């Protein structure tokens, strides 16, 4: 009798649970509308497209044909073009060359030239990328290995100069539409074919032993590159930290001011350098002298100015005067061919593309754009790279009315793209031989990269792979997701013109992604 009553009491609960499980899932447009109906979100602009990857059917669309600032979703286009046109196995090579001669006494009669060919990882970064960016304690290990190789070659004296040559790309450090505020920080580091330590120095700030004294500031690598104007004062414990850093464009003076309390654990900032080749020349000379190599000359740089490239593109149309079997373009005749004394080879390009997309590395994306121009276009310039990118997107079936790019990273606020163009790009990439590699470079929800702390619920974790994007007033997320029903979808969510806290907008985007994933179970 007691058992029958217990069952009777449980029956309504069982029926309610059954009815809830059987309740139909609301249509996707209703789920999206429920998220975007908040008044604060309605003041901004939303562009959304969600498409079934298997059928190509559009599941949801809102302003998908409108142009939005994409921020770092720009990197989706740059990295896809690089995989398609340069290839995942491409390797960069950094060399030390000379046109002089090395005698039996170890005297080099000529200049020593450090030549960059675009390697973005002459740094302490550990590759392959595994869950997060890891750096070892030696940010200049690549240059050290080149210096060691010269010692092994028997170089003891250099009569000429130390020359840092980044002429493989044009001397075009910044993109059009970049904010001046970005240029002092790592996010806006200058672009060069000779990039050491991501073209930044690490500035470490620690409180002094007593209040009222200046804080301790140290710089590495190559502490002599910047002149420090340190005005940070140590304050009593518990007063709170507040400091500022300024560097005027074209200057090598870092001004720091503010306060740091006695009980502060310290701060570390990555600050951009001014001229990467100049930085590399000074650092390399220092490494050589540390190894006992005497340098009699000076240090200098070798750049390719944009104006010379523009001039060459016109004069190169003149027919060749000789029957040398070239392509009909006149070229300068080289009389002194350099010899290579040492070289350093990078890891395959795919490993760096993984870094670019996982952590949204701006500098490396900009290097990729110039590499496209150098390897598959007319010149290692922004314009050359964008021309190659345009050709790739035309091949992918994306109309040129749906995008305009001014850089390869998304730092430029002049970049514009439609959500539909992003979706079409991702659909196209999924059909290519390199598509799986491309997708594997995206951050994984709740696991790594810029999504390591987003979409972390068991239901969403690892079921969404997507590229983030962020600028002031701009948030974006585009990628692939698997729904509860087992359907794979491609999506793009772009939001512009917000004055809300960044977390409010990213939370809304994550709610939209959850709405995309929510679906009837497979077989229903």
- Reply yes or no on whether the pLDDT at 315 is more than 80: no
- Reply yes or no on whether the pLDDT at 330 is more than 50: no
- Reply yes or no on whether the pLDDT at 521 is more than 90: no
pLDDT at residue number 135: 86
pLDDT at residue number 48: 98
Q: In what order do the strands lie in the sheet with 58-62?
A: 58-62, 45-52, 488-496, 474-482, 464-471
Other Cβ atoms closer than 10 A to 266? 12
CA 511/CA 48 separation, integer angstroms: 13
Angle (nearest 5°) at CA 189 between 240 and 450: 70
pLDDT band at 157 (very low <50, low <70, confident <90, very high): very high
- Reply yes or no on whether the pLDDT at 141 is more than 50: yes
- Reply yes or no on whether the pLDDT at 225 is more than 50: yes
The answer to whether residues 225 and 279 touch, using CB atoms and an 8 Å cutoff, is: yes
- Reply yes or no on whether the pLDDT at 327 is more than 50: no
Which residues are within 8 A (CB) of 119 and not within 5 positions of it... i.e. 6 or more apart? 92, 93, 94, 142, 195, 344, 346
pLDDT at residue number 336: 73
| Residue percentage of the chain with pLDDT more than 90 | 83
CA torsion, points 58, 468, 389, 51, in degrees to nearest 10?
Answer: -10
- Across the range 180-204, mean pLDDT stands at 95
- Across the range 424-443, mean pLDDT stands at 98
Angle (nearest 5°) at CA 323 between 322 and 329: 65
- Across the range 49-64, mean pLDDT stands at 96
Could you read off the pLDDT of 66-75 as tens digits, one per residue? 999 999 999 9
Task: Dump the DSSP string for 45-60.
Answer: EEEEEEEETTT--EEE
pLDDT at residue number 85: 98
CA 500/CA 140 separation, integer angstroms: 41
Q: Is 420 helix (H, G, I), strand (E, B) or coil?
A: helix
pLDDT at residue number 131: 87
pLDDT at residue number 133: 83
Other Cβ atoms closer than 10 A to 271? 18
Domains of the chain and any CATH numbers: 26-87+348-517 (3.40.710.10), 93-316+334-345 (3.50.80.20)
Q: Is 311 helix (H, G, I), strand (E, B) or coil?
A: helix
- Across the range 41-56, mean pLDDT stands at 95
Closest by Cα among 183, 191, 124, 140 to 371: 191
- Reply yes or no on whether the pLDDT at 319 is more than 60: no
Q: In what order do the strands lie in the sheet with 227-235?
A: 227-235, 253-261, 242-246
pLDDT at residue number 158: 98
pLDDT band at 103 (very low <50, low <70, confident <90, very high): very high
- Across the range 77-101, mean pLDDT stands at 98
The answer to whether residues 262 and 234 touch, using CB atoms and an 8 Å cutoff, is: yes
Which residues are within 8 A (CB) of 458 and not within 5 positions of it... i.e. 6 or more apart? none
How do 216-220 and 200-206 pair as beta strands?
A: antiparallel
Closest by Cα among 30, 27, 75, 68 to 46: 68
Could you read off the pLDDT of 253-295 as tens digits, one per residue? 999 999 999 999 999 999 999 999 999 999 999 999 999 999 9
pLDDT at residue number 13: 54
Task: Give the least confident one: 61-75, 78-92, 306-320, 453-467.
Answer: 306-320
CA 517/CA 357 separation, integer angstroms: 22
Tell how many helices (H) and how many strands (E) occur in the chain.
13, 22
Q: In what order do the strands lie in the sheet with 216-220?
A: 216-220, 200-206, 267-272
Report the half-sphere exposure of 505 (CA within 13 A, side-chain side): 25
pLDDT at residue number 15: 47
CA 431/CA 200 separation, integer angstroms: 38
Mean pLDDT of the chain: 90
pTM of model > 0.75 = yes
pLDDT at residue number 462: 94
Task: Give the least confident one: 243-252, 419-428, 433-442.
Answer: 243-252
Instruction: State the residue for tokens 């109309």.
Output: 399
The answer to whether residues 249 and 275 touch, using CB atoms and an 8 Å cutoff, is: no
Task: Give the least confident one: 145-154, 188-197, 210-219, 332-341.
Answer: 332-341
Could you read off the pLDDT of 452-508 as tens digits, one per residue? 999 999 999 999 999 999 999 999 999 999 999 999 999 999 999 999 999 999 999
pLDDT band at 311 (very low <50, low <70, confident <90, very high): very low
pLDDT at residue number 519: 76
CA 323/CA 182 separation, integer angstroms: 51
Q: How many residues does the chain have?
A: 524
């Amino acid at each position: 009798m007691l058992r029958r009553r217990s069952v009777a009491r449980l029956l309504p609960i069982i029926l309610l649970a059954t009815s809830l499980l059987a309740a139909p899932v609301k249509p996707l447009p209703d789920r999206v509308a429920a998220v975007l109906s908040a008044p604060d979100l309605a003041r901004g602009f939303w562009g959304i497209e969600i498409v079934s990857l298997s059928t190509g059917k559009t599941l949801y669309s809102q302003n998908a044909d409108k142009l939005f600032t994409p921020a770092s979703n720009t990197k989706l286009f740059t990295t896809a073009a690089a995989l398609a046109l340069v290839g995942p196995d491409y390797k960069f090579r950094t060399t030390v060359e000379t046109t002089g001669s090395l005698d039996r006494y170890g005297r080099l009669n000529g200049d020593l030239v450090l030549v960059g060919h675009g390697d973005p990882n002459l740094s302490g970064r550990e590759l392959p990328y595994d869950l997060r960016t890891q750096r070892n304690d030696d940010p200049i290990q690549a240059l050290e290995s080149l210096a060691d190789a010269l010692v092994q070659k028997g170089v003891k004296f250099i009569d000429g100069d130390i020359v840092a040559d980044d002429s493989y790309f044009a001397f075009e450090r910044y993109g059009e539409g970049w904010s001046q505020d970005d240029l002092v920080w790592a996010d806006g580091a200058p672009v060069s074919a000779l990039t050491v330590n991501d073209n930044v120095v690490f500035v470490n700030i620690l409180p002094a032993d007593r209040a009222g004294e200046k804080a301790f500031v140290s710089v590495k690598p190559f502490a002599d590159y910047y002149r420090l104007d340190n005005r940070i004062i140590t304050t009593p414990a518990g007063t709170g930290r507040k400091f500022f850093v300024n560097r005027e464009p074209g200057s090598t003076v870092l001004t720091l001011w503010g306060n740091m309390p006695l009980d502060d654990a310290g701060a570390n900032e990555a600050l951009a350098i001014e001229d990467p080749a100049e930085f590399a020349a000074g650092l390399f000379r220092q490494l050589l002298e540390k190894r006992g190599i005497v340098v009699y000359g000076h240090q200098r740089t070798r750049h390719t100015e944009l104006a010379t490239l523009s001039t060459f593109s016109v004069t190169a149309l003149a027919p060749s005067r000789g029957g040398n079997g070239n392509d009909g373009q006149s070229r300068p005749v080289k009389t002194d061919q350099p010899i290579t004394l040492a070289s350093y080879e990078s890891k395959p390009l795919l490993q760096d593309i993984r870094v670019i997309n996982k952590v949204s590395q701006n500098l490396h994306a900009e290097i990729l754009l110039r590499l496209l121009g150098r390897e598959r276009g007319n010149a290692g310039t922004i314009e050359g790279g964008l021309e190659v990118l345009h050709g790739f997107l035309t091949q992918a079936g994306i109309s040129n009315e749906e995008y305009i790019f001014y850089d390869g990273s998304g730092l430029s606020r002049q970049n514009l793209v439609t959500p539909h163009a992003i979706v079409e790009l991702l659909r196209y990439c999924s059909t290519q031989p390199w598509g799986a590699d491309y997708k594997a470079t995206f951050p994984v929800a709740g696991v790594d990269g810029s999504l390591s702390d987003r979409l972390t619920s068991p239901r969403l974790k690892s079921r969404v792979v997507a590229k983030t994007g962020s600028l002031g007033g701009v948030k974006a997320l585009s990628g692939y997701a698997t729904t509860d029903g087992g359907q794979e979808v491609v999506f793009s969510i772009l939001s512009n013109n917000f004055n809300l806290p960044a977390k409010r907008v990213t939370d809304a985007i994550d709610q939209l992604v959850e709405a995309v994933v929510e679906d009837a179970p497979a077989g229903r």
